Chains A and B, each alone.
Chain A
Amino acid sequence: MQGGKLEFDDIQHILLTRAPAITGRYEFLSFRNAAGGRAWLSAILEKVHSAAAVRASVGKDKRWVSVAFTWNGLRALGVDDTSLATFPEEFKQGMVARAEILGDSGANHPKNWVDNTASPDLHAIVILFAKDPTERGRCQSEHKKLIAHCEGVEVLSTLDLEAVPPLAYPHDHFGYRDRLSEPAIEGSGDEPRPGFGGSVKAGEFILGYPDEEGSIPPLPRPEVLSRNGSYMAYRRLQEHVGAFRDFLRQHGETPEQQELVAAKLMGRWRSGAPLVLAPHKDDPELGADMQRTNNFNYKEMDPHGYAVPLGAHIRRMNPRDTAANMNRRRMIRRGAPYGPHLPEGTPEDGKERGIAAFVICASLVRQFEFAQNVWINDKNFHELGNERDPIIGNQDGTLEYKIPMRPIRKKITGLPAFTTLRGGAYFFLPGLKALRYLASLGTPR
């Protein structure tokens, strides 16, 4: 079957739904032998929810599980060379080999990663989102038992996730409201919010459906393996909260001025209110209003960047009407913060905290890698000359950040790094049928 309606009962839930979790855990696995890996997969796939299942029972569920594999992982499970060769080049190479393209150099280089995700032995990730810490603990010990029964399955590393308080709204450790920009997928039932330029064809995110070109691009073979699957770029991004707050104090005398500096880096107030619509004063109500918080453009409303500086994070990650073919660059973001909360007024404690996120898309090279290479790390984006994304760009202290103001712009030189990449990988997120196919490899059919 080609194209057609979205197969909600086959698509992993993480692609289409956001679980109401406040905690979770990632486990990174290696399969020392194929049989052990398949035994593990056979057992865990019963726990993996489809989008349909999560939609039907989200009020009752307490945990949500997803699994995905690296290219080496597919091989370790026994996928044959003919099939492996049909996967896209960048996925075969993996995130480590693509470091230069992604801008992962210096402190962000894979040799400095802390979680073994740079290892060629990384084969799979299991993503757990849980309603509360008790449920996470229960799932963690269940999974430990399962792994003990599967010969050759090894845990390379784990990461516990924690929502940052206050829990009333999602935000990162810097305090910026999160989850404001989510594309609506055509046929998913989600309505596009004002300012998003309509819904996006499913093929931009899910393999086996027409994309914005109007056709189904070439897919990995066999079809049972690729259909309803997607690619995920994993990024573990440490946030240097102490350095960030020091920076705000250094560049703003009053709390109001400091808030404005934070807003100018992001393009939104920390409440989520966009500077295009609220240029001088924060408007938390606007920030929280999903019908209004994205309803703006740049070409007419802020061409010179007097509200949102040309190099601000949201202007780079979604240039809206100032970029061509925006719908071919859309991405779905999932994930959660990790590490302990650093309350305001508390000095930096040196503990690692940040965001461990997934970027989900149908083409890593066209969507995720484009965003990294052009939007985030091109020093000359919008002819800025000597800048990168102030929040997630590769900053080594030599670059600047320009804030257009009348009569004369403010130029910050020697912008410090507020984030550091501590781990990452490319995964393939198969559909449920594909998971069963992988689990059954090597058994006579």
Chain B
Amino acid sequence: MSDTPKQHDWTKPAAMAIPKGGFFADKVEQGRYGPIFPKTPACYGFTIIAKIKPGSEETVRSYGKKIEETIAGLPEALEVLQLHYLRWVLFDINKETYFMYQGIFDTDFDKYTEDAVALFSKYGINTVFENLEGFPEDWKTNAPAFVKFVREHQCPSFLEYGEYPYVSAREIKKALKLKAAFSDALDQMQ
């Protein structure tokens, strides 16, 4: 159960320093698959860094285009994840290539884990994950193994910042919709 922060003042930018390990020892909340990383002014999110299998860089990279096409054809494809932003990065350390999956979203990952697994499978995001070293082969039918991989490769932030803290993507969309409706109403009154 997430303890939703009381009404935060979105007009007041906020920063949060996070202890080593990613949790505040005195208020670790248990989720179904383990402790839940805290919500910060930059909402929930994760930064997964994992080594890719040698020779699979092009396969992983080509997936960027594929996701672009999927979303163009089906804009609501990833709606379930309640995302703000995704950033996929490939980089080298000592001639080995690493993949970084950084996502910022509005729900703690524990809650909709199985939905995320189903989604990854449906849109073939698995192709990317399956090129990561140590990714569980039976991940489709074994959500706990999937979660274990994600947790083991999660690199928690030690600082997060929000210019409009704690605001959800849905709230932003609602506000923009309201703004559009309002200017439309004003136009009608001219």
Binding site for B on A (CB under 8 A): 88-90, 100-101, 103, 213, 215, 217-218, 324-325, 328, 365-366, 369-370, 373-374, 377-380, 383, 385-386, 394
Contacts A379-B2, A383-B171 given; does A218 touch B115 at CB 8 Å: no
Instruction: State whether B142 touches A378 (Cβ < 8 A).
Output: no
| Also in contact, A370 and B32, with CB within 8 A (given A213-B140, A379-B4) | yes
A89 to B33, CA, bound (A): 9
Q: Which residue of the partner chain, among B29, B32, B115, contacts A324 with CB atoms under 8 Å?
A: B115
Asked if B141 and A379 make an inter-chain contact with CB atoms under 8 angstroms apart, the answer reads no
- Asked if residues A324 and B119 are in contact (CB atoms below 8 Å), the reply is yes
- For B31, the closest partner residue in chain A by CB is A101
| Residue B3 CB within 8 A of the other chain | yes
Using known A-B contacts A217-B142, A383-B168, determine if residue A373 contacts B114 with beta carbons closer than 8 Å.
Answer: no
Chain B contacts to A: CB under 8 angstroms: 1-4, 7, 29-33, 80, 111-112, 114-115, 118-119, 138, 140-144, 168, 170-171
Q: Is the CB of B115 within 8 A of A369?
A: no
11 A-B residue pairings within 8 Å (CB atoms): A100-B29, A101-B32, A218-B141, A365-B33, A370-B114, A373-B111, A374-B111, A374-B112, A377-B1, A378-B1, A380-B2
- The reply to whether A379 and B32 contact each other, CB–CB distance below 8 Å, is no
Of listed B32, B114, B142, B143, residue having the most chain A CB within 10 A: B32
Pick the residue among B29, B32, B80, B140 that contacts A365 (CB under 8 A).
B32
**What is the CA–CA distance of A385 and B170 in the complex, to the nearest angstrom?**
13
**A378-B2 CB under 8 A given contacts A213-B140, A328-B118, A373-B111:** yes
A379-B138 Cα distance, complex, nearest whole Å: 33
Q: Which 5 A-B pairs have the closest CB atoms?
A: A380-B4, A324-B80, A217-B141, A377-B1, A100-B30
Is A324 within 8 A of B118, CB to CB? yes
> In the complex the two chains form, is B118's CB within 8 Å of A215's CB?
no
Bound-state CA distance A88–B118 (Å) is: 20
A105 to chain B, nearest CB (A): 9
Q: Which of A100, A218, A328, A383 contacts B114 (CB 8 A)?
A: A328
One of A90, A215, A378, A383 near B141 (C-beta < 8 A): A215
